[in-house]
Amino acid sequence: MAPAYDVEFVEREERKARFLVRGVTPAFANGIRRAMVADVPTMAIDEVRFIENSSVMFDEQIALRMGLIPLTTPPEGEFVEGDTVTLAIDVEGPGTAYSGDFVSSDELVKPADLNVPIIDLKDGQRLEAEADAAMDRGKSHARHQGGVAVGYRHLQRVEVVGDRDQFEDEEPHIVRGVIEDDGELVPTSEFDHDLTVRYPGKEVRIEDVPNAFVFHVETDGSFSVEELVTRAIDSLEQRARELEDAVQL
Amino acid sequence: MSYKCSRCKRDVELDEYGGVRCPYCGHRVLLKERSRDVKEVSVH
């Protein structure tokens, strides 16, 4: 039987979240992190056809900039790896060509942010191109990374063990992440990451809570955090199954 | 081959006999125009 996991959200937004997972080993926590970074397929531009580019930048440089624009990734099952969607752009100077100027052939795949500048065009300069977006994984190229700034830390338990010596210097005691105080989860940003602010004049002891990890996950806008985490875990599960099938006699 | 004269900015067609010279203003500096072909670039 699978061991029981306990998940608790500390912070939850569309593109950013912080959550606590109890009952996982460090290896498994790192497996989830790596899957989020490198193993969740996302859409990104990987081929550009330039019809006109009279801007000051080379086609190749502009193609690279286009590749790094986050695109929304369609729900699971709609696309498979290798499928493509065409996006077109046609901007004439003076002005800046933004990611929002892309017109997509599929409503499900469009720039996640509309304000990513591609190139500044001067009077008479023009950029006209067609781009193919394809689905691939973060391990093939950074442009296909859905999870950015993904990491985890041990949950830290803080215990007051007594009063501080009267003549001891009050030095800041910096802790970052999330602490557990009497079963209550407190992000350290609430007390400026300084334990002497939260426990003035007290002697405290900090210890890592075994097998409890606080994940901090941010997505590039391809999908929500929940989607990223569940897809990462699905990919982990799928690979474990493949291994199981492969070693079966 | 299509070029553009750097002085009078007019389009210039060069043939193999005329030499490198603008037929309108006589300027000898010509700029090569970008080809009209669609250029395919893959993102690396």
CATH number, residue A92 = 2.170.120.12
Out of A73, A103, A137, pick the residue that ends a domain: A137
Q: B19 CA to chain A: closest CA distance, Å?
A: 27
Contact B43 A59 (CB under 8 A): no
Q: How many separate domains does chain B show?
A: 1
Q: Which stretches of chain B score pLDDT less than 70? A: 1
pLDDT of residue A3: 64
pLDDT by residue (tens digit) across A136-164? 899 999 999 998 899 999 999 999 988 88
- Which of B4, B34, B35, B43 should we substitute to test contact with A (largest number of A Cβ atoms within 10 Å)? B43
Contact A50 B39 (CB under 8 A): yes
Q: pTM to 2 decimals?
A: 0.81
With beta carbons under 8 A apart, name residues in chain A contacting B42: 46-48, 63
DSSP character string of A84-129: EEEEEEEEESSEEEEGGG-EESSTTS-BS-S--EEEEE-TT-EEEE
A55 and A97 in a single domain? The answer is yes
Q: Which stretches of chain A score pLDDT less than 50? A: 1
Task: Find the closest chain B residue to A60 by CA distance.
Answer: B41
Task: Find the closest chain B residue to A132 by CA distance.
Answer: B42
Out of A96, A115, A137, pick the residue that ends a domain: A137
A70 in a domain, yes or no? yes
- CA atoms of A127 and A180, how far apart (whole Å): 54
- Which of A42, A43, A52, A144 should we substitute to test contact with B (largest number of B Cβ atoms within 10 Å)? A52
Residues spanned by the domain of A75: 43-137
Interface residues from chain B to A (CB-CB < 8 Å): 34, 38-44
Residues forming beta bridges with residue A208, ordered by sequence position = A156
Radius of gyration of chain A (CA): 24
CATH number at residue B31: 2.20.28
